[in-house]
C-alpha cells in the first residue's frame, strides 16, 4: 500500500532514481521510489562511470562497490583504424579515481538497489505515474498499479523517468532540442580484439565511427553510428561493422552478441530543472549523443546534488529556494556536456575525405600538446565540472536537531 503523503516522491528507479533514493535513505528523508517496470533492467546500456561521478557517489557509500565490480581503464585512444591519433591517460587525474570505470548499467543498478534495500529502503515496482499537478502541500501525483489508481501527495515530486518524463510534462517544462539524423548501434559482444582490454578505443574510418570498450566479464561494449541500423543487430552485423571500421591488422572475430539494440540520438535540454514542487534530473532533464559516455554520469551527479539539497531543505529546515541552487548548478553542467558530446559526434562522423584528413592531422598535432590532452581528460572525466556540483553553504550533516526542525516544518504545513 502506497502512502497518501510523502516528503519526496521519486518517479523512476533507474540509476539516477536509485542514487537519489540512497542519498535520502542515508539521511532519513521520508521518500517513496516508484517504477513502472516490474523488474530492473538486465541490459548493460550505459557502461562507463567517470572520476567525478565516483567522487560524488563516495559519500553515499556507492563508489566502493562499483570499483569492486567494475573494470578500471586508464587509457582512451582516438584512432583511425590502425593508426593512433590521440591518446589520453587518466592516471594523472587530480582525483582519488584516476581511471574510467567500465561497468554494465545492470550491475550499477543492482548495486544501488542492493544498498538501498540493505539500509531499509524499497522500490515500489509496477507503479507508474499517470498524471501530476501542483496542489495541497506540494504535488499531487496519480499513480497506477495492479491494485488500481490512487493519488499521492508529495512535498516534492522528482522526475527521474527518462526522456518522455511524465513529471516534466506535468510541470509544463519545455524540452528544447531536436532529434539527430544519426542512428546508433549498441551491443555487448564476446570477441577476439587485437587492441586488448587496457583502453577504450574511439575508432574513425571512412565507413563511420565505432567505440570499443572492455567490460569486467571479458566482453566488449560496441557503440557505432550506423544509418539504417537493424533493430536488434546480430553477430554478422557487428562483425561487418568491425571489419569496416576496426583495425586492419590482427584478429577481430566476434563470437557472440550478448545483446544489441538500436536507438536514435536526440540532443535536448529541459528549459528548467525546477518548477514549484516538481524537480528533474537525469534523462528527464537532458539527453544527448553517447559520445564520451557522459549521459548516466551527468544524471548521477544530478541525483547526488539534488539529494543534498532535499536533505538540507526537508531535514535541515533550510529555505526551499535552495532547490533553485540545484537547478542553477546542474543545468549549465548539462549544457556543457551536450556541447562536448555534440563536438565529439561531429568530429567522429565527418564524411568528406579532405575533412577526415584534416581532422586526423589536427589530432596528431594535438597529441603533442600536453595542455590540450589534460583539458580533454578533465572534460571527459567530469572533473572540469566540479564547480557545477556545489550548493551554497556547508554540505549536509543532519543530526537529530535538524531532523526535528524538518518534522516541525512538515507538521506546520
- d(Cα 318, Cα 230) in Å, to the nearest integer? 51
Q: pLDDT > 90: what percent of the chain?
A: 76
Stated pTM of the model: 0.91
Sequence spans of domains, the chain: 5-72+101-178+266-354+369-412
Retrieve residue 116's grid coordinates.
538501498
Q: What local confidence, expressed as pLDDT, does residue 400 receive?
A: 37
pLDDT at 46: 87
Q: Is the pLDDT of residue 231 over 90?
A: no
Q: How far is CA 207 from CA 37, 51, 192, 269, in A?
A: 38, 32, 21, 30
Is the pLDDT higher at 128 or at 291? 128
Summarised one tens digit per residue, pLDDT across range 128-138 is: 999 999 998 99
- Please write the tens of the pLDDT for every residue from 238-252: 999 999 999 998 889
> End-to-end distance of the chain based on CA atoms, in angstroms?
24
Chain centre distance of CA 138? 27
Find where cell 582516438 sits: 78
Which helix (H) or strand (E) segment holds residue 80: the answer is strand 75-80
C-alpha distances (whole Å) from 260 to each of 185, 220, 341, 377, 382 are: 7, 12, 22, 29, 27
In the three-class reduction of DSSP (H, G, I as helix; E, B as strand; rest coil), residue 193 is classed as coil
Q: For residue 343, what pLDDT is reported?
A: 86
The stretch 258-275 carries a mean pLDDT of 90
Residue 403, pLDDT > 70, answer: no
Handedness of CA 78, 80, 86, 87 (dihedral sign): positive
- Please determine, for residue 232, whether its predicted confidence score (pLDDT) is greater than 50: yes
DSSP 88-152: EEGGG-SSS--SEEE--HHHHHHHHHHHHHHTT--EEET-EEEEEEEETTEEEEEEEETTEEEEE
SS3 content of the chain, % helix, strand, coil (to 5): 40, 30, 30
The mean pLDDT of the chain is 90
- Cα torsion for 5, 6, 8, 11, to the nearest 10°? -60
Q: What is the pLDDT of residue 175?
A: 95
Q: pLDDT digit string (tens) for 101-128?
A: 999 999 999 999 999 999 999 999 999 9
Task: Report the alpha-carbon distance of residue 230 to residue 310 in Å, rounded.
Answer: 43
User: DSSP secondary-structure letter at 384?
Assistant: G
Angle, vertex CA 264, rays to CA 356 and CA 359, nearest 5? 10
pLDDT at 161: 95
> What is the per-residue pLDDT for 41?
64
Q: Distance of alpha carbon 340 from its chain centroid, rounded? A: 15
Banded pLDDT at 28 (limits 50, 70, 90) = very high
Whether 379 shows a pLDDT value over 50: the answer reads yes
pLDDT average, residue stretch 382-399 = 78
Look at residue 396 in the predicted model and tell me its pLDDT: 55
Q: Is pLDDT above 70 for 43? A: no
pLDDT attached to residue 266: 81
**CB contact at 8 A, 360 and 347:** no
What confidence tens digit (pLDDT) does each residue in 327-376 have? 999 999 999 998 888 888 888 888 889 999 999 999 999 999 999 999 99
pLDDT band at 177 (very low <50, low <70, confident <90, very high): confident
The CATH fold assigned to 5-72+101-178+266-354+369-412 is: FAD/NAD(P)-binding domain (3.50.50)
Q: Which residue has the higher pLDDT, 412 or 243?
A: 243
Strands 138-145 and 128-135: antiparallel
Question: What pLDDT is stored for residue 340 in this prediction?
Answer: 87
Maximum separation of any 2 CA atoms in the chain, in Å: 71
Amino acid at each position: 500500500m502506497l502512502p497518501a503523503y510523502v516528503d519526496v516522491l521519486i518517479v523512476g528507479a533507474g540509476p539516477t532514481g536509485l542514487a537519489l533514493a540512497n542519498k535520502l535513505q542515508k539521511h532519513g528523508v521520508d521518500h517513496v521510489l516508484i517504477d513502472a517496470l516490474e523488474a530492473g533492467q538486465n541490459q548493460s546500456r550505459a557502461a562507463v562511470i567517470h572520476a567525478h561521478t565516483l567522487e560524488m557517489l563516495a559519500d553515499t557509500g556507492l563508489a566502493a562497490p562499483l570499483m569492486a565490480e567494475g573494470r578500471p581503464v586508464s587509457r582512451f585512444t582516438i584512432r583511425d583504424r590502425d593508426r593512433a591519433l590521440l591518446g589520453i591517460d587518466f592516471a594523472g587525474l587530480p582525483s582519488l579515481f584516476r581511471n574510467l570505470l567500465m561497468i554494465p548499467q545492470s550491475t550499477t543498478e543492482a548495486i544501488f538497489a542492493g544498498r538501498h534495500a540493505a539500509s531499509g529502503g524499497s522500490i515500489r515496482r509496477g507503479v507508474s505515474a499517470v498524471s501530476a499537478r501542483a496542489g495541497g502541500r506540494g504535488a499531487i501525483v496519480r499513480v497506477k498499479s495492479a491494485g488500481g489508481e490512487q493519488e499521492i501527495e508529495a512535498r516534492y515530486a522528482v522526475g527521474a523517468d527518462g526522456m518522455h518524463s511524465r513529471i516534466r510534462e506535468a510541470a509544463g517544462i519545455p524540452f528544447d532540442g531536436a532529434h539527430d539524423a544519426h542512428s546508433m548501434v549498441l551491443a555487448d559482444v564476446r570477441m577476439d580484439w587485437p587492441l586488448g582490454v587496457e583502453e577504450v578505443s574511439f575508432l574513425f574510418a571512412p565507413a563511420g565511427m565505432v567505440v570499443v570498450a572492455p567490460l569486467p566479464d571479458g566482453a566488449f561494449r560496441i557503440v557505432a553510428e550506423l544509418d539504417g541500423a537493424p533493430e536488434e543487430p546480430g553477430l554478422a552485423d557487428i562483425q561487418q561493422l568491425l571489419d569496416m571500421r576496426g583495425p586492419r591488422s590482427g584478429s577481430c572475430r566476434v563470437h557472440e552478441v550478448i545483446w544489441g539494440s538500436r536507438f536514435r540520438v536526440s540532443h535536448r535540454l529541459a528549459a528548467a530543472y525546477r518548477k514549484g514542487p516538481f524537480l528533474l534530473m537525469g534523462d528527464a532533464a537532458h539527453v544527448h549523443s553517447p559520445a564520451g559516455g557522459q549521459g548516466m554520469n551527468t544524471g548521477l551527479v544530478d541525483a547526488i546534488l539534488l539529494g543534498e539539497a532535499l536533505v538540507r531543505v526537508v531535514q535541515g529546515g533550510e529555505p526551499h529556494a535552495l532547490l533553485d541552487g540545484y537547478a542553477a548548478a546542474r543545468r549549465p553542467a548539462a549544457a556543457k556536456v551536450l556541447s562536448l558530446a555534440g563536438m565529439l559526434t561531429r568530429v567522429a562522423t565527418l564524411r568528406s575525405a579532405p575533412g577526415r584528413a584534416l581532422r586526423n592531422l589536427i589530432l596528431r598535432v594535438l597529441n603533442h600538446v600536453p595542455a590540450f590532452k589534460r583539458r580533454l581528460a578533465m572534460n571527459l572525466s567530469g572533473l572540469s565540472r566540479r564547480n557545477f556540483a556545489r550548493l551554497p553553504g556547508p554540505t549536509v550533516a543532519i543530526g537529530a536537531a535538524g531532523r526535528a526542525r524538518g518534522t516541525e516544518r512538515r507538521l506546520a504545513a
